[in-house]
Structure 1
Amino acid sequence: MMTVPLDRSYADQLDAADDLAGMQQAFVNLEPDMIYLDGNSLGRLPRAAVDLADDLVRRQWGERLIRGWNEGWFDLPERIGAKIARLIGAAPDEVIVADSTSVNLFKLVVAALRAQRGRMRIISDDLNFPSDLYILQGVVDLLGSGHEIALAYSADGIHGPVETILSLLDHNTALLTLSHVTFKSGFLYDMKALTAAAHAVGALTIWDLSHSVGAVPIDLNGSGVDLAVGCCYKYLNGGPGAPAFLYIRRDLQERLINPISGWMGQRDLFNFDLDYAPTAGLRRFLTGTPPIMSLALIEPGVDLILAAGIERLRAKSIAQTEYLIELWQQRLAPLGYTLNSPRDPARRGSHVSLGHPAGLGIDLALINELNVLPDFRAPDNIRLGITPLYTSFRDIYIAVERLAQAVIEQRYLKYQSNRPTVT
């Protein structure tokens, strides 16, 4: 491991050489002394979204009223979806914004299982986001057709159990579904290799892109991916609870049936026919009326990522996570912190998890006393989200110093019995 200087001036040198440093100015920052390292859970507010929100309320809703549907609202799911498609290696007509990640996953899992009749196995892993597993369990119970969920278990809780997944794939497998980047450790799967392995036995794939979209390059078409979902409020900076998106490869769109059929997916929806007939293309996977306010506010964040370029963002992310890990090795490992993320940057997303026996107490001390805002995931993970659009090298340096301070000064002791609702 390369040794880096343990001083702030070196971080400032790295910031001075950063050609993306100016992107920070595109975001609202009302607490300039606070180190924000939770963009992997909720991205910052783009300044352009503030202006757009004002226009949405005052002009589009207040002045134009119902006319807004013919002045851009109706096409928003497809228009913003086409922009997201550019970030994930998909065609413009293969991505649409709708509902939440969980609802979209439900739609795609049911549609995939119905298209794979006679195949009963669903494969996932224990590093997947638990909500995804809850959806799978609910679908199996709802369909009542004897499907089974086969989980592959990680040996260390950090790296994806690739070999076990490969061993579970067989001709009874209907579906392989994984998080592209795992939410705790940040492990990054080889999407292309696992998709090919699934296809070799006739299985379909669904990838959850929530912790990778906007942070790492994704090539759904080049990887042969069948289906995918993802959220818009993390690295895409779309706002809390922003609608999500789904991807269906073009050749599957007419084959799959939306299990939550609704009028936004109906052919000739204003004919108000009493029988459902899905429209052509991806729009058939819409259900109810989209929430225009929150949907529209996704666009400014996506535009910023497109302007920066995903390859440049990935390069900076790797440089920053490597810098953080090097500081961990020198400054934090002697204080009992462990690295709970992959060491290989090719297998790591854009957040780094550090473990500590007093992890929750340290997290709360950072938030309440030391002006650093990360998040915590049980049992001991302090997640440090690196968002290259607005995270500086100085932010990382200061955060590491305050992580050290929380242990050296035993700041965590007063919080050991406290557990907030949201961590």
Structure 2
Amino acid sequence: MPTIPDLPVLGEHDDPNSMLSKKFGREVANYFSGSPLNRLSFLRGDRDFLRQAFSYPSTAFLLMNNLDPLVRQDDPSHLAFATIADVVPLTGEDPFGKTEEEQIRDFDSADDKHPPVIVFLGVDDKAQLPSSRQVEEFAYKSFRGSPYFAVDVTPRGEGKVAVEARKLVERLKERGLEFHQTAGHRHMGLHAGQAAMYGHARALIDWNARNPFCAQCGQTTLSVHAGTKRACPPTDMAGGTVPHDRKPCATRGTVSNLSFPRTDPTVIMAVVSADGTKVLLGRQRRWPKFWYSTLAGFQEPGESIEEAVRREVWEESGIKVGRVVLHSSQPWPFPASLMIGAVGQALPGAEAETVFLGHDAELEDARWFGFDEVKLALAKGVSNLGESAPEGYVDGGLRLPPQTAIANQLIKAVVEGWWVSPRM
């Protein structure tokens, strides 16, 4: 039976005596949130900081190969971090030696010159992550802690960088490490804090990999700002020593020629019946038998969260929703969604609560489930997609997503009375 991962702890942010907690209940933290790192996002453009942090002996590197994270073969629930000595053959000793302006000026699209994407993740300034490196902690101005970077070591092409990436992957395998394949199950078994780090790294490395070309002119772009921006340079060395002008690009004549990572807002909602005794759940055709979840869908431009909840529920199930309350959110790096969790209540009346699947063909089925049946499923029928049902499950019973999915947290909140009383 698979190990059930823990969920993030809010720590100092979780004050049960605060005015908001007393009125609305304790904050809910979902899987892929709760990073132990201080992102220090304002230092991503500080070359001195990046150079010192990258080369510091205690700095740890999260390596990603085809978006799969490096873990120990005997314990894939924890990330395995590389050292500066591991990554230098691939990244070079001083990948942040140039300013962003100099990087853009000296851009070289030749395969041998194209560096791997390096993402600054943040600094562990509260010593929350275990470390076997007994060295003095990193310090820069008033900031102290252990720096963390992510590096894309995916071998691409046949140039020098790709060759070094393949060598690095082989060396890591010889040390009992592996890149844990995330396709299908999406690596939902990581320790909570490290799952947040993995989600952060995955989202940014995936965005860089998906955007090698400028959306306006189609030319190659360059990763800058510690992996969080991409620029369309005006010139290209193209393997030589003299820069050549590239085709004109409209972005260079505007405020900025930079593109930024995208985040797609997605609403996901537990819908309660008008009398407060049932919850609406649906299923897609590809899911295992008896496996249901909450409804979800992308928020559209010019649409509020509440409007998106009502529209998606009506389009997918025919149910008309009245009041909508926000519950919690979950970063979902597959590839770049922010799951906005809500609880909605159906309008009273048979017409408003009648399921109709004729608007949108996304769902195979949607139905109302009584709270008692849902509580039993939470106790006996929870699993990841692709995993067998847990011990104690009776065939034919309702199956639900695991606690690492915000859908599970929304369902649990509804049947435990989150929506009718303060959650203390």
TM-score, reference length from structure 1 = 0.26
| Bigger fraction of residues in helix | 1
Q: Which one has the largest radius of gyration?
A: 2
TM-score, reference length from structure 2 = 0.26
Relative contact order (alpha carbons < 8 A, sep ≥ 6): 1 or 2 greater? 1
| Bigger fraction of residues in strand | 2
